[in-house]
A = this chain, B = another copy of it.
Amino acid sequence: MAIGVFDSGVGGLTVLRALRTTLPGRDFIYLGDTARLPYGTKSAASVVRYAGQAADALVGRGLSCLVVACNTASAVALPELRSRYAPLPVVGVVEPGAAAACAATRRGRIAVLATEGTVRAGAYERAIRALRPQAAVVSAACPLFVALAEEGWTEGEVVDLVARRYLEPLLATSTAPDVLLLGCTHFPVLAEALARVAGSDVRIVDSAATTAAAVEGMLGAVDGTTQGRGRLQLLATDDAARFARVGARFLGEAIEPATVEVVDLGG
C-alpha cells in the first residue's frame, strides 16, 4: 500500500521530496487541495473540515500511512485525523520540525516562521517545549513568503527585503534565536535568502527530513526486495496545469500536467 501525503497545495511537495529520498522503494500518493488553498489564513474550523475531506479521499484509496505535510493542518487537525483513522498511522510535520529545531539549537533559542493559522494554533511552541522545556520560542507569521515561493521569486532583491522585514525584529532582540524553524512547507525554497539575511550564526531547519525519518521509523526498514523507485501518483483538487507548473519548483523535478489527476472533494 502507498504512503499518502496530503497538503493544502504544492508546498507539501518539499516533504514528499524528502520522503522519496529516504524511502525510494515506496509508492506514494500525494493530494494537494489546490481548490481551497491556502489553509494558512483560514480558521481552525475550516481547516479541520477541509483536511478531513482531503484525508478521506486519500485513505479511501488504501494507505500504509498518512502524512499530513501541511503545517497548518498538522497544527490544528492532527488529533481529529488520528482518531478518525486509527489504527492507521498519521504523521504530522510539527513534531518532526520541533525535533529538528531542538537538535540544531545550541542556546535553546528558536524562532518559528509560519502561516497565521499555524502561529495562532501555537502547536510548534508546545511541541518544542515538550522536548526542551527551557527553550525560548518566538513565532512570526510570514504570509508574504508563501506568495513569493508560489511566484518563484526565491532569489533577488524582493525576497531579501521581505526577509529582512520579517526577520529583523526577531534577530534584533537580546535573546536572538540561533535557529530558524521553517514552519510552512513553502518556505524551504526561500532557505538560501533567509540564510543570507539571518547570517552564519543562525541555523535554518525544516520538517522535511525529520518527517521522512519519522515515517521510516514507523513503517520499519524498506523491504529489501523492492527494485527501483516506487510509483508516484499526484492528485489535485483544481487545475492540473498550475499544479504541475508551480509544483515542480517544490518537488525539485518536472511534473507532467497529464499525470496529475483532478479530484472533487465535494466542496
Contact = CB atoms under 8 A, between A and B. Distances in A.
Interface of A, helix, strand, loop or mixed by DSSP: helix
A43 interface: yes
Contacts of A161: 157-158, 161
A238 B158 contact: no
Contacts of A24: none
A147 interface: yes
A150 B143 contact: yes
A217 interface: no
A259 B36 CA distance: 25
Interface residues of A, number: 26
A34 interface: yes
Interface in A44-79: 46
The count of identical subunits is 2
A43 B35 CA distance: 8
A151 interface: yes
Contacts of A146: 147
Interface in A190-210: none
B165 A42 contact: no
Given A144-B153, A147-B143, A147-B147, A43 B165 contact: no
A46 B41 contact: no
A231 interface: no
A1 to B, nearest CB: 30
A238 B35 contact: no
Given A158-B165, A161-B158, A267-B267, A43 B239 contact: yes
A148 interface: yes
A242 interface: yes
Contacts of A148: 144
Given A46-B238, A161-B161, 19 more contacts: A35-B36, A35-B46, A37-B41, A41-B242, A42-B238, A42-B239, A43-B242, A46-B239, A116-B242, A143-B147, A144-B144, A144-B148, A144-B153, A146-B147, A147-B147, A158-B158, A158-B161, A158-B162, A267-B267
18 contacts: A34-B42, A36-B267, A41-B150, A42-B239, A43-B238, A43-B239, A46-B238, A46-B239, A144-B144, A144-B147, A144-B158, A146-B147, A153-B165, A157-B161, A158-B158, A158-B165, A161-B161, A267-B267
